[in-house]
A and B are shown apart, each in its own frame.
Chain A
Amino acid sequence: MSLKLLSANHGAALAATLAARANRAGRGFCSGVYPITPSTECMEYLCLQEIEKGRVVKVESEHSAMAVCIGAASAGARTFTTTSSNGLAYMAENCIAAALLRLPVVMAVANRTLGPPWNIWADHGDSLLLRDQGLIQFYCADNQELFDTVLCAFRLAEDQAVMMPVMVCMEGFILSHTTAQIDVPEQAQVDEFLPLTSIPHRLGDTPHALGQVELPHQVEMHRHQHLAAMNGAIDVYAGIRDEFERVFDRRLPDAVVAYRAEDAETLIVSMGTIGATAERVVDRLREQGQKVGALRVRLFRPLPMEGIRAWFAGKQRIAVIDRDVSLGFGGVLWGEVNALADPGTVVQSYLAGLGGGDVRPEHIENMLSDLLPRTSAGLPAMMEAA
């Protein structure tokens, strides 16, 4: 282990590099990459690493970047890519293909607002586009967590019972460009943690087609299998956390990260770095005697419904903060978790930090001031960045 100062972008790329090298005795590593702000530094870093039995293909679009990953995974290699915003939207068709072909591609997404009108700052709207398409999604809150989650993503994606793409999301600039200390393991430890990539349906010697026409009952069967594997990924992840701790001597955060939530009457629910801010708010309000706690949804797909439901039980009010908006509905996370609360609980949707607006402790305190007098939830409330 060694401590390094790295941006989250570089951290993700370093984790991918270590994972790539760990497959040198297997079928190697091949990645397709294309730059887009704010994930560019991740692909630049990856391109400059020496990877024995590895190749990073510098393609002409995000669409092709994922196509290279699809080809590489079809040939049995470990794969990784990174993108943001419109790049992810452009890549979406092939992200879906990778998911439906059950190929374990790992991608780091530096979240950024979709446009035009152009905006380069953070917003979860890009990765949430792919909410329903069979890709596992993690949202991280700091550099170490992102690094560890990328490493773990390879193990999870390539698990024989999971076998699907994993997106590891970080808010653009807020995390992607923040330099912080990362505890980087030795290659030997990564080798121990990550088994060689084995993709049972890869193209080998036997003629078979990947991705051909399927009839309705076959699509149903494959969706059923995919759904079951998705739901099973929650337990697989729990197992990987133990294994991660055994090898690296530190623990990966849970699928949902609770903070002073046990005896809380009011809960702040969010994803990504807003969750870290919410924890500071909890500390501040606890000092004032308010019974507030925070819950950060780290694993968004599959949604750990049981875990969230257990934390929601008995709470009076829940503020769900979304750095996204489903236009015509409200916060995406709010829509997801609303039904998991007790019938009497007030679950209010707050939209904040869209287009990369700052979400500071005082913003969250304003939300709680708005929430506490409420006896029933109202329309989703848009909180302007001030």
Chain B
Amino acid sequence: MNEPMLGGMAQTALDRRDPLLRAGNTNCGGCGFSSLMQMMRHAVADQPVHLVIPACCAAVSAGVFPQSTYGAPTLLTTFASAAAAASGIASVARMNGEDTRVVCLAGDGGTYDIGFATLSAAADRNEDVLYICYDNEIYGNTGGQRSSATPAGALTTNLSRGKPEQKKDILAIMAAHRIPYAASISLAHAEDAVRKLRRALDLQGFRFLHVLSPCPTGWKSEPALGMELVRLAVRSGLFPVLEVFDGKRYVVNIEPDFSDEALDMYLSLQLRFQKSGITAAGLRPDIDRHWQNLRALSGRIVPARRSA
């Protein structure tokens, strides 16, 4: 076991023999998507899986024709088409009695923005598709422009000041489609992540997973610190890790300590925040409000913020 960040669960006998993301791919060092694919390899194991990838970094990761970086049959689609193309693949698989898991891997641009209508409609039809958004909070493939997943206070290549608007709450939106399963995944909490990947793979109907995916290139952070950044985002309450069943039952999986120290550290380790001058105190009220909502939804009415 040489992947300590994966909590000792990857590269065991349970893993899929052919990795889903093979060595020699062109991902940047420290890319969260690479770590996600290692966990996927473990979670998918021997199940047949087809990948559907719209225009995004993962489309480039596929490599140059005719070789493929992916260890599973893969369809690369136009930017706004992943969920619809996956609907077609899944429909044909089911009518032929095949249990192939159809998995979309899309960035935040293809999920929150240009592909949103397609995603919403596929969720509405409850297609038998697992849709995973690996969210690096920018248009990474084009060099790092603002998306509606870009968090408040972050700088992007097309913003002269930190983003004034808050990040879109994609998980709430997907949960509002009343799909069987919607969850957020922290790559820094491998056990919880793999459990949820497995659950999402096993369920029928439309499943949505939201993964905060560190992007050293876009976040202007140390590649080796990606997992630590995710951990800080979870600890501080900035990135809630939860599951929503049928749009009704909310379960918080990882309890944050709402530490301002963690939030400060999260911001200070990324030049995208450092340069904009956003502070932990500036973000805290919105984080608190969000957690008050989550407490109400999850039925665990405890103070949103513990005293130090």
Contacts and interface: CB of A to CB of B under 8 A. Distances in A.
Interface string B58-85: 0110111110111111111110110111
B52 interface: yes
Given A53-B95, A60-B121, A210 B75 contact: yes
A48 interface: no
Interface stretch (B86-94, B146-154, B180-188, B212-220): B86-94
Interface string B93-124: 10110000000000000000000011011001
Interface string A52-92: 01110111110111011111111111010000000000000
Interface in A209-239: 209-215, 218
Given A203-B50, A208-B74, A28 B65 contact: no
Nearest to A221: B65
Size class of the A contact interface (CB-based, 8 Å): 35 or more
Contacts of B80: 63-64
A94 B85 CA distance: 10
A63 B87 CA distance: 13
B73 A206 contact: yes
B84 A72 contact: no
B286 interface: no
B88 A32 contact: yes
Contact of B62 (A57, A75, A209): A209
B18 interface: yes
A212 B77 contact: no
Contact of A75 (B64, B78, B89, B120): B89
Of A30, A64, A79, A94, the most chain B CB neighbours within 10 A belong to A64
B81 A205 contact: no
Contacts of A94: 78, 81
B305 interface: no
Nearest to B80: A63
A209 B70 contact: yes
B125 interface: yes
Contacts of B64: 212-215, 218
A74 B77 CA distance: 11
Contacts of A58: 125
A30 B95 contact: yes
B118 A60 contact: yes
B88 to A, nearest CB: 3
Given A28-B96, A203-B50, A207-B68, A67 B88 contact: yes
Nearest to B124: A60
Nearest to B125: A57
A67 B60 contact: no
A59 to B, nearest CB: 6
B73 A204 contact: yes
Interface string B28-46: 0000000000000000000
A192 interface: no
Of A30, A60, A75, the most chain B CB neighbours within 10 A belong to A75
Interface in A136-190: none
Contacts of A211: 75-77
Contacts of A67: 77-78, 81, 84-85, 88, 118
Contact of A71 (B62, B72, B73, B86): B86
Contacts of A71: 52, 75, 77, 84-92
Contacts of A68: 84-85, 87-88, 91
A350 B109 CA distance: 46
A14 B90 CA distance: 25
Given A204-B73, A213-B63, A213-B65, A75 B92 contact: yes
Contact of B92 (A28, A63, A208, A215): A28
A76 B92 CA distance: 8
A214 B84 CA distance: 24
Contacts of B52: 71
Given A59-B121, A213-B63, A64 B18 contact: no
B62 A213 contact: yes
A93 interface: yes
A32 to B, nearest CB: 7
Given A57-B91, A75-B93, A210 B74 contact: yes
A212 B54 CA distance: 10
A2 to B, nearest CB: 28
B71 A207 contact: yes
Contacts of B87: 32, 57, 59, 68, 71
B48 interface: yes
Contacts of A203: 50, 73-75, 89
A61 B117 contact: yes
A205 B73 contact: yes
Contacts of A30: 88, 91-92, 95
Contacts of A74: 75, 85, 88-89
A340 interface: no
Nearest to A222: B65
A332 B77 CA distance: 31
Given A55-B91, A64-B121, A218-B65, A32 B84 contact: yes
Contacts of B18: 207
Interface string B153-196: 00000000000000000000000000000000000000000000
A207 B72 contact: yes
Nearest to A26: B96
Contact of B81 (A57, A64, A210, A215): A64
Closest 9 CB pairs of A and B: A71-B88, A211-B76, A60-B121, A67-B84, A71-B85, A75-B92, A67-B81, A72-B88, A64-B84
26 contacts: A55-B91, A55-B95, A57-B84, A57-B88, A59-B125, A63-B80, A64-B84, A68-B91, A71-B85, A71-B86, A71-B92, A72-B91, A75-B92, A77-B91, A93-B78, A97-B78, A97-B81, A203-B50, A208-B73, A209-B65, A212-B76, A213-B60, A213-B63, A213-B65, A214-B64, A215-B64
Interface of A: 27-28, 30, 32, 53-55, 57-61, 63-65, 67-77, 79, 93-94, 97, 203-215, 218
